[in-house]
A and B are shown apart, each in its own frame.
Chain A
Amino acid sequence: EVQLVESGGGLVQPGGSLRLSCAASGFTFSSYEMNWVRQAPGKGLEWVSYISSSGSTIYYADSVKGRFTISRDNAKNSLYLQMNSLRAEDTAVYYCARVLRGSGYYPFYYWGQGTLVTVSS
């Protein structure tokens, strides 16, 4: 059974940092592109970042570029999101999401349960 389990969320002050983790199991993690998607309270879905299966290709939403860093450790079956210079508008539930198939043009199929990040003083 495929599982994605996020952790690392919490309350942080504006300007602070947080590192999210996503532990993957039930599939060959190193074969799949991964993403982070967030959802502010009462709002819609916003894609945050993408990483290819090898980690060689990375993309960010303009809203987080220069502040967030996505990475993965295929040996540990884990995905990460380092979030620096956090702002109030970064408050959201953060989901890790796996694409439907290994690579290519596919939507997000498996999602974690989400971890809440609250940026507030």
Chain B
Amino acid sequence: AIRMTQSPSSFSASTGDRVTITCRASQGISSYLAWYQQKPGKAPKLLIYAASTLQSGVPSRFSGSGSGTDFTLTISCLQSEDFATYYCQQYYSYPPYTFGQGTKLEIK
């Protein structure tokens, strides 16, 4: 199974900050990488797929990049509603689909 490793596991930031979360795959996954946002008690929300394609309705302050094994999610100017947990997921080789362990973004 392909292992997905996110860093950092948790992070404190302030509104207006630019933040970057990284995701590394244990083997190449081309661009078959998605990013999700999850808030407490809610289902995950798809933000980005194909490593860099912004899902419809997602604010443009979110962006993704990378291919192969190394990927990043960037939030250009943090808003209060962005404090949440973020997960990456590979859908290149399944089963199993695999998720990163999550990055919890907290208010500083």
The chain A residues found within 8 Å of chain B, CB to CB, are 35, 44-47, 50, 59-62, 95, 100, 105-109, 111-114
Q: Do A107 and B89 touch across chains, with their CB atoms under 8 A apart?
A: yes
- Shortest distance from the beta carbon of B58 to any chain A beta carbon, whole Å: 12
Question: Chain B interface mostly helix, strand, loop or mixed?
Answer: loop
| Residues of chain B within 8 A of A100, CB atoms compared | 46, 49
Q: Do B99 and A105 touch across chains, with their CB atoms under 8 A apart?
A: no
- Shortest distance from the beta carbon of B93 to any chain A beta carbon, whole Å: 10
Within 8 A of A (CB), among B50-83: 55
Q: Do B98 and A47 touch across chains, with their CB atoms under 8 A apart?
A: yes
| Residues of chain A within 8 A of B7, CB atoms compared | none
Which residue from A45, A62, A114 sits with its C-beta under 8 Å from B99? Answer: A45
Which residue from A35, A95, A114 sits with its C-beta under 8 Å from B97? Answer: A35
The count of A-to-B residue pairs whose CB atoms sit within 8 angstroms is 58
The 7 closest A-B pairs by CB, nearest first: A107-B34, A111-B43, A59-B95, A47-B97, A45-B99, A44-B102, A107-B49
| Residues of chain A within 8 A of B98, CB atoms compared | 47
B11 contacts chain A at the CB level, 8 A cutoff: no
Q: Do A106 and B95 touch across chains, with their CB atoms under 8 A apart?
A: no
- Shortest distance from the beta carbon of B41 to any chain A beta carbon, whole Å: 9
| Residues of chain B within 8 A of A105, CB atoms compared | 32, 91-92
20 pairs from A and B in contact (CB 8 Å cutoff):
A45-B38, A45-B44, A45-B89, A46-B99, A47-B95, A47-B98, A50-B94, A60-B95, A61-B95, A95-B43, A105-B32, A105-B92, A106-B49, A106-B91, A107-B36, A107-B49, A107-B91, A111-B45, A113-B43, A114-B43
- Shortest distance from the beta carbon of B101 to any chain A beta carbon, whole Å: 5
Q: Do A45 and B34 touch across chains, with their CB atoms under 8 A apart?
A: no
Q: Do A109 and B55 touch across chains, with their CB atoms under 8 A apart?
A: yes
